[in-house]
Chains A and B, each alone.
Chain A
Amino acid sequence: MSLYFWKPGLARDSDKARKHYRDGVKQSLQPPYFCALAQANGISNKELDRHTFEKALRHVRENNLPWGFGTARPKNLAELKDKTYRYKTKDKTYVEMPILDDKGNWRKVGPAFEEEDLQHVVLDFDEKHSGVSFDSSVPDRVQLIKDALPALQDVELVAFYSSSVINETPDKAPSLNLRIAVFFDKPYDRETVRAWMKSLQWPEIEGREPSRFLDIGLVEMTRWDVIANPTVDGRTPAPEKKLLEIYSQAGKRISIDRSALKIRGAEIYLENAKNLSDISEPIKKRIEHFERKALAGSLEGIRGVELFNEILREVRYRGKENARELVYALSGSPEVAGDKDIHGMLEDASFYVYKELTGRELGGYAHVKKNFSLLDCAEIDINAINFKNRIVCVKSGCGTNKTKGLTKRIIKRLIRKKGYKTALYISLLKATIKPASSDISSKDIRFVYYEANGSDRISKEELMRSQDYLATTNKSLDCLIENGRLKPFDLVIIDESEKVLMDCVSKFGEHSHIYALCNAAKTVVLLDADATDDVTGWFAKEVSDASTDHKEILALINGKDWMGHPTKPHTVYELQEQKDYIGIIEKGLAQGKRIFLHVGFKDSDEKKRISALIRHFSFLYPEKQIFGFDSESIKNEPELRNNSERWIDEKIAGDGLDLLIHSPWSKIGWDFLSSKEDNVFDFSVGAYPNKTVSAADIAQHLRRMRLTRVHYVWIDWKTTKSFGNKDSSNRERSLLEKAYRENLLRDEWGLDSMKAQGIPIDHSTEMKETVRRRSLIEKSNIRKAFELICKDRGAIFHPRYTTDRENEGITHLLIEYGKSEHIKEARKAWDDRQRRSQVLDNFFKWKWGTDPIYELEESWGKTPIRPNEEDFSTFLDLYTRELRASENGADLTTLFRLSIAGEAERGMLQAEDQAQGALLVGKILDRIDELVGQSTDGSIKKLMEWRESPKAAREFHVLVNNEDFKPIKELCQKNKSRIELSAFGRIASDLRANTTLIRKLCEVMDCELEDLSITPRERTEKGKPQANKEIVNHYKNKGLIDKSIRITAAVKEAEALLDGKLREGIALEPIEINFCRYRGHFLLIRKPYIESGLTMNCFAKARNHRIFSDSKNL
């Protein structure tokens, strides 16, 4: 039960359950107050819903009863006898006080109640709100709250006035005076409910703290909701009409995701950590893995680094709040945690990720740093700043008038007063440059657009070399070269510097042009809303260091942003699922809102996603005006691109404009700000299903509609299609880990180590590396980076917002991932008869019987699979196997051909350009065959031949050690660039683990590989000496080894015996297998059952090919 009716036990105490007003002023009750509560009734959790709650409330108010609603059961008086509690006195000392006094009254303190989980909770809204008037009804006030608290949209609730409402007068600014009871899907503990209430974020209104709007006190065990009618001037009036106004709303019940909440107190987590049932399965596995490592002693000396890396990965991948589960689970295992401060590591890792995702703060390299807080850069007093001989880095948010308000004034000042003769403006997009060139021009300083005379190279070169004031893209800088020299400019301005510098590395030589131009200039201005020290700051430092006149770096950093406007802040809702972005648009269109949808995909692929979205919304709302443009289709509407205000205003004035969809073409250099007040987009929605757009770009894109202050954004973290039984979250995890590893590798092998060794590095290489690293980090966790950017700019951020939209009817619009997408693809291939036969053609069936043509003796024969012979599930399996083989990038037929070919034939294949790097790949295959040959009796000469031979054993063991792998590894490493280009490119891409190459090769060959090597845990349970003893004793008992031989010599003999057995293909006994597992990598290679399975057909194809090519040569 979570709803109890608390009522005073004695009639004299009935007033203690009411609020008191005297002369319109609320009288406070001095705690602690005594109240003898009668044993309370209540409503059981099963029966508690909005109907029973409303009924109880009406009953109390209509009958003027002195009752309150509590959330815990008061204990029996007998239970409380002689019980005490700690009371804090005025001089801040504690005294033990009895709960019951001698008259049978008791104190409303924690120990007097019995703790219970909550099925409902009452939210108390008492603060003043500008949207409330004296006449506002309960539904009006509820609507105000629902607008600000999306979590309360469409949930089951009962809303009613608090008793203070009787004090409202038309001339007084009224408070909300509202209570809302909400119901949960199941009972939750008080701590979880409290955390949920805290997670409800309320926008700051009229400069007041958001937390003040919602009083979360009613969740406390000792608090009761005083719902009884109040006393006014000492008498209890008849029930007020207003107090009987109750609003009840049907809807779903609230489900609290505990893992998403910030729950107070480490103890709770520690309890959970001890209770393994609360820890998710993947985390449990990881803890077990660490425990194994710890027991094996492999954490010694590296415990701190290992644990920190694990936590860092978790924070990077799932965010800080979700990483707590792992942290508490780790700290709950003393073997793993040791003496390390795991919680401290979480804080460090979070700080590291925050710094990494948002980039290092601009200004670290600056000689002079100026911070200002202005929404308009035109207010900066530039006369007080010295720009001459300086590199100026400006970081200021979108729409803060950087171009007109700051850049134009700097240009004017330097040219008119400091005698500068030439100026160059560089930006990323043509679309930005054209309007910007006129924005920064003044009467005597006219910037020329670089394609003004035509876009062909000769006209561009002619124009660009002759102009003193030029606006160009970074891509055309080489047109400035005349007689092998770049034309210098006194002033160089790089707009969107972060993106320009990151884009520069894509074209050979471009970065050196920018570098040279900046070196030669007297002043360089770098402007970007997201400038970081990683790219812009670093570039400024490089230029400053290289310039002969020692340019100083000046950083101008604007701390203000429109998103964090003091009275009109922006609100960003992070949508939870893909369907939600369609749901929110449907809802908005139904309410007649005007919406801007920005998406991370284009319309030109076969799925035509933007067109499909337009069709969907037009079908639902035929009267609505919906338009969508990507970078191609916008060419047909140049007006929208060049003069957005006119185009949109005209549309709105005409038939109207309800939804405008844009692909990333408009993310920078385009905006809409109408002079007409009503022409505003009510909210923007973003949908980003892939990693092509960075978080900074998404944050830029949602600001294109300058006056829109509410934004909904869905960003997916599942970015790559996976197939087969691979878990999508694992897939994502491995991608992140790959990115992370690359970072580590960079430190190990990259520039830092080169620098340490004193190897000279040219500027372009370093820049390329810096940019590569930055873009890698940017894409490692777009969702989190986006959240950090929004919060950094002062927006109110609501995570995990969801709508009640279901997938029904919109599945074709959603981008699917993982298994479902894979099955869909396989189904498509199955329906396409040509593709079906193509897949089936790669496999064949083994059949026992007489050869029909040559009438030879009965043997295994290959039978092709007819298209209608197999069902879809078999086809799905074959399709997956084929895909898995090709995922490793190897053309199987080529590999087979190379494997069976001799040296001369391989040379011929290479010369004929049929197989890239044929000789090299052939050599690797030979070495692998040698390796396999060592462990077998010689029947398996070629791994590929074994795979295709029906007579060969189905499985065999390979025993190899690291030394055996060394020649293969060396060969691959020495010829890395050739191998990357060859058929072995992806197979040999990862050589860190010795067995990876063979594992991948087996995948290509459609075989299974099982690594039977001993695990660290097993090693701790039974060490090598023990295994040695076992095998020696075993052989001695069998009489295979002389009993008098000492153990070391005996082990050598045993090893020799085993090697012989392996070579001869004699089946090993369990004790022998166990011993082999200690000797190195003990691998079991197995092919599918030939009796029932279908197998790949490449060998036959390869042989046929050889016959054909031989006959051709003849």
Chain B
Amino acid sequence: MEYKLSDRELSELCLFISVRQIREVFPDYAPSQRTIYRRLARHGINTPTEAQSNFKTKLLLAAPVDLDDREANALIEDHIQTMFEELCATIEKSADLYRQRHA
């Protein structure tokens, strides 16, 4: 049995990449696009793109005041990339653990 992405992981992933990209990045763990949309909607995320832009806006507003917009955006992009990579690593780790459990 293969590891499947949890609702929480999906909700977090959709903040960084599009639903189609989730399928592309985790072809083995991700359910079909239709299922992803359905599961996200269960948690109130009806339009993942909107959630993504809201997330970015929130980060932008929380950026330090001494940075100007351009610097803040660069910082945010950096952060997002790191967070995304960390999330991917966590997912891979969970999948490994899962595989070990079910080996």
- Which A residues fall within an 8 A CB radius of B? 456-458, 484, 508, 910-911, 913, 916-917, 919-920, 923, 974-978, 981-982
Contact = CB atoms under 8 A, between A and B. Distances in A.
Interface string B21-64: 00010000000011000000000000001000000011011110
B34 A978 contact: no
A910 B57 CA distance: 13
B34 A976 contact: no
B68 interface: yes
**Which 9 pairs, one residue from A and one from B, show the smallest C-beta to C-beta distance?**
A974-B68, A919-B65, A917-B61, A977-B69, A975-B69, A916-B61, A920-B65, A923-B65, A978-B60
A981 B54 CA distance: 11
Contacts of B61: 910, 916-917, 978, 981-982
Contacts of A917: 61
Contacts of B72: 975, 978
B65 A981 contact: no
A975 B65 CA distance: 9
A910 B68 contact: no
A273 B33 CA distance: 71
Interface of B: 24, 33-34, 49, 57-58, 60-63, 65, 68-69, 72-73
Contacts of A910: 61-62
Nearest to B60: A978
Contact of A457 (B34, B62, B65, B69): B34
B60 A981 contact: yes
A39 to B, nearest CB: 87
B24 to A, nearest CB: 8
Given A978-B60, A978-B69, 9 more contacts: A508-B49, A910-B62, A917-B61, A919-B65, A920-B65, A974-B68, A974-B69, A977-B60, A981-B57
A508 B50 CA distance: 12
Contacts of A916: 61
Contacts of B69: 974-978
Contacts of B68: 974-975
Contact of B34 (A458, A484, A975): A458
Contacts of B57: 981
B8 to A, nearest CB: 21
A913 B62 CA distance: 10
Report whether over half of chain A's contact residues are helix, strand or loop; otherwise say mixed. helix
Nearest to B32: A458
A913 B58 CA distance: 9
A920 B67 CA distance: 10
A456 B34 CA distance: 10
8 contacts: A457-B33, A508-B49, A910-B62, A911-B62, A919-B65, A920-B65, A976-B69, A978-B69
Interface centre among B34, B65, B73 (most CB of A within 10 A): B65
B67 to A, nearest CB: 8
From B34, B63, B69, residue with most partner A Cβ within 10 Å:
B69
A546 B71 CA distance: 34
Contacts of B65: 919-920, 923, 975
A280 B61 CA distance: 50
A458 B58 CA distance: 34
B75 to A, nearest CB: 13
Nearest to A917: B61
A362 B47 CA distance: 39
**Which of A457, A458, A977, A978 is packed against the most chain B CB atoms within 10 Å?**
A978
A458 B34 CA distance: 8
Nearest to A974: B68
Contacts of A982: 61
B47 to A, nearest CB: 12
A616 to B, nearest CB: 40
A911 B62 CA distance: 8
B60 to A, nearest CB: 6
Q: Which of B34, B49, B62 has the most CB of A within 10 A?
A: B62
Nearest to A970: B68
A457 B33 CA distance: 10
Contacts of B58: 913
A286 to B, nearest CB: 39
A920 B34 CA distance: 41
Contacts of A913: 58
B63 A978 contact: yes
Contacts of A911: 62
A920 B65 CA distance: 6
Contacts of B60: 977-978, 981
A484 B27 CA distance: 14
B14 to A, nearest CB: 15
B70 to A, nearest CB: 8
B28 to A, nearest CB: 17
Contacts of A919: 65
A984 to B, nearest CB: 12
Nearest to B63: A978
A911 B61 CA distance: 10
A776 B70 CA distance: 28
B59 to A, nearest CB: 11
Nearest to A979: B69
Contacts of B24: 484
B55 to A, nearest CB: 13
A917 to B, nearest CB: 5
A484 B25 CA distance: 13
A388 to B, nearest CB: 36
B27 to A, nearest CB: 12
A53 B58 CA distance: 80
Contacts of A457: 33-34
Contacts of A456: 34
A995 to B, nearest CB: 24
Contacts of A458: 34
A175 B68 CA distance: 81
A910 B58 CA distance: 10
Contacts of B62: 910-911
Contacts of A977: 60, 69, 73
Nearest to A461: B33
